[in-house]
Amino acid sequence: MISHLKLVPSGLEKRTVKPAGRLPNEKLRVREYLTAAEVEKLMEAVKANNRQGHRDSTMILLAYRHGLRAAELIDLHWTQVDFNQATLHVRRTKGSTDAVHPLTGQETRALRKLQREAPDSPFMFVSERGAPFTVSGFRRLIERATQAAGLKIKAHPHMLRHACGYTLANQGTDTRTLQAYLGHKNISNTVRYTELAPNRFRDLWKD
């Protein structure tokens, strides 16, 4: 017996269900970097409100000045600092290139004070119990500091690295030097900073 049954297209529309999760960064904030003034406000906020204000402000300062990722910051050891030469050996993650950065007077003074006051540990940034700081702990620190400083932006630790790139680009640092400073292996990751530097358009119009 021959069957006369045939397939009938379904009237149901196939839909893709997107899993619930974190919104893209562009939906959470209008820019992915902090200004130099905002970084300063964060440092002032932790100094005024945190019990370990000096440690916390030093963390923010180094992350900003050296374009450190949170994982690079919390893994800093005292052996990476040369106080005699005023240098910091920066060990990069994510396949980025290591480098030796000069330390400014402000950074050197902050680190010397931190070393005198901090618990005995090979790690630069530790808790009151002497345990190494964590990435999640630094993220919470930035979130609290953002609220205390009254910033109108949802900040996160990586914005300090971006702040470093944009500040140096705006000061006229050439792209190759900035690439080496931030440890980028691919220069296309560095170009984003020079593209948004407002100084590149200075003097295009004259009144």
- Give the residue numbers annotated as catalytic, written as ranges: 69, 94, 158, 161, 184, 193
Token pair in block for residue 97: 């290139």
| Cα 42 to Cα 12: distance, rounded to the nearest angstrom | 53
Compute how many other C-beta atoms are within 10 angstroms of the C-beta atom of residue 63: 26
Phi-psi region of 150 (alpha: psi -120 to 50; beta: other; left: phi over 0): left
**Token pair of 175 as six digits:** 């792209």
- Residue 161 tokens read as 């690295």
Torsional class of 95: left (φ above 0), alpha (ψ -120 to 50), beta (otherwise): left
